[in-house]
Amino acid sequence: MTTHAVPPTPTQAVRVAPHIRRFTPASIVGVSVALVLAIVMAVLPYYVPIGSTRQLTDLFVYIILATAWNLLAGFGGMVSIGQQAYVGLGAYGIVTLVGILGLNQLLAIPLVAVACAIIAIPISYLVFRLVGGYFAVGTWVIAEIFRLVTIRFPELGAGSGFSIPPMAGVDRDMRIAIGYWAALAVAVIVVVAVVLLVRSRLGLALTAVRDEPVAAATSGVNVVTARRLVFVIAAAAAGAAGAIVAISALNVQPTAVYSVQWTAFMIFMVVIGGVGSIEGPIIGAVLFWILRELLADYGEVYLIGLGLLGVVMVLVAPGGIWGLLTGRRRVNLFPIGYRLDRRTLAG
Amino acid sequence: MQIVSAIIQGVLLGGLYALFAAGLSFMFGVMRLVNLAHGALAVLAAYGTLLLVQAGFVSPLLAMLVIVPAMAALGYVLQRFVLQRTLSESPLPSLLVTFGIAIIIANLLLVTQSANQRRLSLGALDTASIAIGDIRIGVFPILVLAFAVLALGGLSLVMRRTQFGRLVRAVSDDAPTVSLMGANPRHIYAIAAAIAFGLVAVAGVANGVQAGFNPSSGDMLLIYAFEAVIIGGLGSLWGTLLGSMILGVVQTLAATFDATLFQLAGHVVFLIFLIFLPNGLIQRRVRQ
């Protein structure tokens, strides 16, 4: 280099500020459809039999769990197999607040979610000392500790579980419908929260670290804070899901709510639908819900099938169903990215 | 006296955990893969042995002559054709696949076997014990500990002294360069997996005699092995042995006060190590 590069001054360069858009045709359609769907879902209990309302509650719980696990693993790069810790904690939060203290169920759900988030903060300092596979098993140990501590409290029903008395003055159908609306509301909140988080500065940092760790680190991305936030949000979401499960079942068994099977289901849904996208986990949750309705009677054979399908999917189609559908094109049904407007560039 | 006895039992139990942990830590050391199916594979080997014994093999020890090579072969094939494809910068694919395999194995065993607790029997050796004063020490746990020390010692000797060990370490450090020298890293990885699977088969049978098993007991075995590895310090085989013994001693000591504390005490000592000594007892220079 013999000459110094002269930095271009504003007068030299003819600058047309490129027009950058959040919304693409796909995401305009996507958000509109999601909005209409949410409204239809909200009035659905008035039109469908109560059995379907109950089944749809399960679907919303799956969407919450899959979206939260995907946030953790797909965006945060943290493969946890201990999310059942917060499902169990959420369920026992309801046991404590509603079953023992007699609080209103709907008021209890946000309180339980906040409690799970607060508990997840010190936990994050512990498990963040482990990486990769050891992080995964570490989170599992935490879940086991929660279970073993829970069953030491006779007030919580110890090992035999706890039955929550139903709300006074509310008939069975209304009770199921309330659980349904709570689940729908939490599912919408979680999906919107993840969309907002992923497109925020922290989300960009996470995506950068996931896709190109070295480049991200050299650009000064503070990834630990971003990961901690993700860990805490995922815990709150799993806790809210556990709370909804407890409210709709009215019976909490420690081995069931702290079962590693919760996380196995989350992983299955995310892997099948497509890890690292917003749409994938929702697709996975819907598919998992349909499969369960059709095949749950087959018990263990069904679980073997799920396991095989999951393994084959990771090996053959790591992008999941959403990856297969979109191929190389970048399609976002939710406005998470930025698009450069070609028309303004040309003009 | 009861406490001394509990400590001795704990050290012996540590031998069993070390046998489990050795395979887990070996696979991680060579190919940076945490095998979440480790516990399930141990249980699979135990059921395989049980079936052979029922089919007419006189003793589990004889059945092991078939099961251990079979598990090693399974390890080779699984690594070469499935796990190899999941190795990448991101731990996500390998964790998902090994977790999936764990679920498949556990549920296959639930379908084909019952959910009941099973046990392998070596006849008189099950209950044989040596009496020192008031303390009775089981002969079989001593044999397991001795085997664990031999296996860990042998493994570390092979890794340090032999041509094969140098090859494994070289592949683990820089696989592309080693492949330029004419060695096939995939083959080396698969052999490492075969060794780990063979070890976990022995551990599974030993656990089947000492403690018994059911289709879902693999979860706890994986967790104990993992805790032993972290307490001992990642990458150190002797650290793993020490970590296993600490875990075993704490569990049996706690169980003498309250039998229900066995599991929780083990997890808590793991947490204490994670807080105060996150790199474990024997720290090893981190290789880049």
Q: Quote the minimal CA–CA distance from A75 to chain B in Å.
A: 11
Query: Can you give the pTM of this predicted structure?
Result: 0.89
Residues in chain A closer than 8 A to B100 (CB atoms): 307-308, 310-311, 314
Asked if A46 and A106 touch (Cβ cutoff 8 Å), the reply is no
**A43-101 residue pLDDT tens:** 888 888 888 888 899 999 999 999 999 999 988 888 999 999 999 999 999 999 988 89
**A226-282 residue pLDDT tens:** 889 999 999 999 999 999 999 988 889 999 999 999 999 999 999 999 998 889 999
Diameter of chain B measured on Cα atoms: 62
pLDDT for A7: 53
Region A19-24: what's the mean pLDDT?
72
pLDDT for A15: 55
> What distance in Å separates the CA atoms of residue A155 and residue A22, rounded to the nearest whole number?
52
Name which of B20, B26, B107, B268 to mutate to probe chain A: the one with the most chain A Cβ atoms within 10 A of its Cβ. Answer: B107
- Token pair for residue B153? 């010692």
**B199-246 residue pLDDT tens:** 999 999 999 999 899 999 999 999 999 999 999 888 778 889 999 999
The three-state secondary structure class of A251 is: strand
pLDDT for A9: 52
> What distance in Å separates the CA atoms of residue B37 and residue B44, rounded to the nearest whole number?
10
B213/A contact by beta carbon, under 8 A = no
Q: Residue ranges per domain, chain B?
A: 2-276
A126/B contact by beta carbon, under 8 A = yes
Contact: A138, B275; criterion CB under 8 Å: no
DSSP string, A236-249: HHHHHHHHHHHHHH
Mark out the alpha helices in chain A (DSSP H runs): 25-43, 50-70, 84-94, 105-127, 132-150, 172-199, 201-211, 213-218, 223-249, 254-257, 261-273, 279-295, 300-316, 320-326, 342-346
Name which of B30, B92, B104 to mutate to probe chain A: the one with the most chain A Cβ atoms within 10 A of its Cβ. Answer: B92
Contact: A145, B36; criterion CB under 8 Å: no
Q: How confident is the model at residue B84 (pLDDT cuts 50, 70, 90)?
A: very high
pLDDT for A183: 94
Amino acid letter, A198: V
Lowest mean pLDDT among A170-179, A263-272, A336-345: A336-345
DSSP string, A252-319: E-HHHHT-THHHHHHHHHHHHH-TTSSHHHHHHHHHHHHHHHHHGGGTHHHHHHHHHHHHHHHHH-TT
pLDDT for A32: 82
Region B259-267: what's the mean pLDDT?
91
pLDDT for B56: 84
Contact: B104, A304; criterion CB under 8 Å: yes
- Selected residue with higher pLDDT from A42 and A190: A190
The most confident of the ranges A128-132, A311-315, A343-347 is A311-315
Region B32-49: what's the mean pLDDT?
94
pLDDT for B72: 96
pLDDT for A330: 67
Distance of CA A223 to the CA centre of its chain: 20
pLDDT for B288: 36
Question: Which DSSP category does A6 fall into?
Answer: P
pLDDT for B284: 58
**B113-138 residue pLDDT tens:** 888 888 888 887 878 888 887 888 88
Asked if B45 and B205 touch (Cβ cutoff 8 Å), the reply is yes
A347 has a pLDDT exceeding 50 = no
Lowest mean pLDDT among A31-40, A59-68, B252-261: A31-40
Asked if B223 and A137 touch (Cβ cutoff 8 Å), the reply is yes
pLDDT for A18: 64
Contact: B86, A315; criterion CB under 8 Å: yes
Region A143-167: what's the mean pLDDT?
87
Residues in chain A closer than 8 A to B28 (CB atoms): 133
Mark out the alpha helices in B113-135 (DSSP H runs): none
A295/B contact by beta carbon, under 8 A = no
Q: How confident is the model at residue A204 (pLDDT cuts 50, 70, 90)?
A: confident
Name which of B35, B84, B95, B276 to mutate to probe chain A: the one with the most chain A Cβ atoms within 10 A of its Cβ. Answer: B95
pLDDT for A17: 61
Q: What is the ipTM of this complex?
A: 0.90
Q: Quote the minimal CA–CA distance from A270 to chain B in Å.
A: 11
Q: From the CA atom positions of chain A, what is the Rg in Å?
A: 22
Residues in chain B closer than 8 A to A159 (CB atoms): none
> What distance in Å separates the CA atoms of residue A296 and residue A294, rounded to the nearest whole number?
6
- Cα angle A62, A64, A67 (rounded to 5 degrees) comes to 100
B150/A contact by beta carbon, under 8 A = no
First to last CA, chain B: 48
Contact: A308, B100; criterion CB under 8 Å: yes
Contact: B91, A133; criterion CB under 8 Å: yes
The chain A residue lying nearest B216, using CA atoms, is A260
Of A185, A210, A216, the C-alpha closest to A64 is A185
Region B256-265: what's the mean pLDDT?
90
Lowest mean pLDDT among A62-71, A209-218, B9-18, B71-80: A209-218
Mark out the alpha helices in chain B (DSSP H runs): 2-31, 38-54, 60-81, 92-112, 139-161, 163-173, 175-180, 185-210, 218-232, 237-257, 262-276
Amino acid letter, A321: I
Q: How confident is the model at residue B19 (pLDDT cuts 50, 70, 90)?
A: very high
Q: Phi/psi at A15 (nearest 5 deg)?
A: -110, 125
Residues in chain B closer than 8 A to A315 (CB atoms): 82, 85-86, 93, 97
Contact: A303, B107; criterion CB under 8 Å: yes
Q: Phi/psi at B129 (nearest 5 deg)?
A: -145, 160
B50 has a pLDDT exceeding 60 = yes
B90 has a pLDDT exceeding 60 = yes
- Mean model confidence pLDDT for chain A: 85
B62 has a pLDDT exceeding 80 = yes
Q: Residue ranges per domain, chain A?
A: 22-260
B45 has a pLDDT exceeding 90 = yes
- Selected residue with higher pLDDT from B172 and B79: B79
Lowest mean pLDDT among A316-320, B18-22, B225-229: A316-320
A203 has a pLDDT exceeding 90 = no
**A279-313 residue pLDDT tens:** 999 999 999 999 988 887 787 888 899 999 999 99
A307/B contact by beta carbon, under 8 A = yes
Q: How far are the Cα atoms of A65, A187, A264, A323, B68 from residue A62, in angstroms, in the given order? A: 5, 9, 12, 20, 41
pLDDT for B285: 52
User: Quick one: fold of B2-276?
Assistant: ABC transporter involved in vitamin B12 uptake, BtuC (1.10.3470)
